[in-house]
Amino acid sequence: MFLDEAVVEFVSGRGGSGAVSFHREKHVPRGGPNGADGGRGGDVILLADRNRRTLYDLRLQQRFEAKDGGHGLGNKRGKDSKNIIVKVPVGTVIINEETGQPIVDMSTHGMKFAICKGGKGGFGNQHYTSSVRQAPNFAQKGAPGERILARMELKLLADVGLIGLPNAGKSTLIARISAARPKIADYPFTTIIPNLGVARYAGDTFVVADMPGLIAGASEGVGLGHQFLKHVERTRVLVHVVEVYPVDESDPLTNYNIIESELKLYSEEIWARPRLIALSKTDTAPHEKYNEIRKSFETLGLPLFPISAVTGEGIDALLHALYEVLQEAKGEPEIPVLMPALEALDNIPFEVERTEEGFVISGRRIQRLVAMTDLENEEAVRYLHRRLDRLGVIKKLREMGAEEGDDVVIGEAVFAFTDEN
Binding-site positions: 164-171, 189-193, 210-213, 280-283, 308-310
The annotated binding site for Mg(2+) is made up of 171, 191
CB-based contact 322:202 (threshold 8 Å): no
Q: Are strands 112-116 and 147-154 parallel, antiparallel or unpaired?
A: unpaired
- Tell me how far the alpha carbon of residue 132 is from its chain's centroid: 50
- Cα dihedral: 286, 287, 288, 291 (round 10): 120
User: How many whole angstroms separate alpha carbon 11 and alpha carbon 114?
Assistant: 11
Q: How buried is 97 (Cβ within 10 angstroms: 0-12 exposed, 13-18 middle, 19+ buried)? A: middle
Residue 364 CA to chain centroid, in angstroms?
Answer: 22
Cα–Cα distance measured from residue 74 to residue 71, given in angstroms and rounded to the nearest whole number: 10
CA distance 6 to 2: 12
Residue list, annotated binding site for GTP: 164-171, 189-193, 210-213, 280-283, 308-310
Rg of the chain taking only CA atoms, in angstroms: 31
